[in-house]
Structure 1
């Protein structure tokens, strides 16, 4: 590497004059050069001459840089313009055509020079008021009919399927006098489980009065009514042997002992809680929920729901559900009506409050206090696959139930039955499980309660 050095001292010194005053100190230092050393001159990159050289070179290169930037900008603008105006392909009446992206359907019709016969303008009685005064084009975009007023604002971005044909006939502007057709109620089937299979959707009939022709026409039913169907059925397990144990009128002073037996036996059950008893024994109600047992409502009090008016019925159900939720923290929609009585009128007046009404198809008869052995025989001697067993959790039946319950569980399990909750029992029937959710009401938007005839409205069976 060349041995370069500077022609000045690295440590600045104060200037001083020679004695003869003829030379400055810097002049003297310039004369003192080391033998064999190479020195850089101003022309080699230091000083004003080097700076001027770089400045001249930069000025010479500047026009080329400006031209390059301008070209890049033009290329970018051209790319943006191309992208905004690029062509895309759509399907028109089964054939692919190219259109500018974001073109409207109206522009496509103009570009393709489509010419179809417009529909006629009709009076309310279907007579022709004006030929070709109706819809200009019939346009179906991706399977959906497009109104002619929207053709100018409906944009195409590529890949759409359009069917364009002659316009449809249109009716004159008219006033409508509509009559709503209320759905009726039909109960189908038999069994211990009842639920809404088909919700009622109102129909509609209309009478039109034309504002141009002045004519009036009864257009009849313009929307068919969908009547409500309540389905009653029983559980048919696809595989295995299952039975559900259910307790009414809970909770009681014996509830915690019943829960202990269930826990010791490793089984679960469904408890239908009575609102006024829940209020009197909230701790027992919470124990049922904490034990993982399924909960339903036995109404707010022990009354025959079929004898109540519509408002009284809804109050009983709502109060019962709310009391359970306040005590246990669980939202409940499953109902077992007291005495198993729930009329057609009850369904019509309150089906939007219940997920299902579940009674039983095997009665233990424990409320008759026949003794523990008789209760065990009633259940085990009559059980069949998919049965819902009725039992009672109250203070009158408590001692009897504590004696009978362990025997019932042991003997059912010895016969190969699996003891499950109601929801688990429903899940063993694939068709029923798909149609029914015991935990919530599934009333769709637009559905209404069915209308009863005057005789049905009396709420008498």
Structure 2
């Protein structure tokens, strides 16, 4: 009888131990799973600010939501210099000015998404981020016939929703290494050139610009200066290789 009682107590003890052990594993699993989601946001979906530092390229990007009068001059310079860069365009702009967008496409430049409207994406919900990126994609595809794979949020503003939306739609989120700040008052050709050349880490860098008159004047100077330094000017995809 005593043996049976002890055996019964042992069985109960084992059952309690197993229950506790299962509970511990469940907690560990949930913690790891939540960390996995967090890590996906921080690592997998993390915005790209610079390409490979071993690259012989420096990427020029031009964010377009306005500046129609400057784009032809920039395209002519790029053609004369035999340079292809990345244009991030809003879907709204593409819809309103398909002929100008077609000029960019015809010149063989890389096309990325700048969202549909120039909004503060860092304040948008997941659904709104998805909507803006998807609508831009549809407008771009109508002309290019191809889905873009690079996304540059307007003003560089983003939150977790933005990154997760971009990842879900199979985009890489792109920011910049060097900002020309060409929209700021007083940003002359000389100021823009100095602002870019005085930065370090040009290899694999991503240079942000807009279709501004001073930028169009600075563009050929920057191309020549970087080529003199042994770097070729290219697209975002060139520095990500």
> Which TM-score tier does this pair reach, normalised by the shorter chain?
0.7 to 0.9
CA distance in 2, matches of 1:232, 1:295: 16
Does residue 337 of structure 1 match 2:190?
no
- The 5-angstrom pairing of residues 38-437 of structure 1 reads 184-186=37-39, 187-188=41-42, 195-196=44-45, 230=46, 234-238=50-54, 241-250=56-65, 252-369=68-185, 370-383=187-200, 384-393=202-211, 397=212, 399-427=213-241
Distance 1:312-1:231 versus aligned 2 partners, 3 A rule? closer
1:300: Cα distance to partner? 0.4
1:306: Cα distance to partner? 1.4
1:331: Cα distance to partner? 1.5
Structure 1 residues not aligned, in runs of 5+: 1-126, 128-179, 190-194, 197-229, 428-461
Structure with the greater relative contact order (CA < 8 A, sep ≥ 6): 1 or 2?
A: 2
Distance 1:233-1:307 versus aligned 2 partners, 3 A rule? closer
CA distance in 1, matches of 2:164, 2:71: 34
Structure 2 residues not aligned, in runs of 5+: 1-14, 16-29
CA distance in 1, matches of 2:108, 2:224: 20
CA deviation string 1:337-370 (max 9, x = no partner)? 0011121232234521142000001011101042
Distance 1:387-1:334 versus aligned 2 partners, 3 A rule? same
Which structure features the higher share of helix residues?
2
Retained in 1: the 8 A contact 2:125–2:161? no
| 2:5 matched residue in structure 1 | none
- SS for the counterpart of 1:257 is helix
Retained in 1: the 8 A contact 2:47–2:173? no
CA distance in 2, matches of 1:368, 1:313: 27
CA distance in 2, matches of 1:235, 1:333: 16
Aligned length: 207
CA distance in 2, matches of 1:232, 1:382: 18
1:184: Cα distance to partner? 2.1
CA distance in 2, matches of 1:287, 1:330: 16
| 1:124 matched residue in structure 2 | none
- SS for the counterpart of 1:330 is coil
Distance 1:390-1:233 versus aligned 2 partners, 3 A rule? closer
Alpha-carbon RMSD across the aligned residues, in angstroms, is 2.4
Retained in 1: the 8 A contact 2:88–2:113? yes
Distance 1:424-1:349 versus aligned 2 partners, 3 A rule? closer
CA distance in 2, matches of 1:255, 1:294: 15
| 2:21 matched residue in structure 1 | none
1:282: Cα distance to partner? 0.4
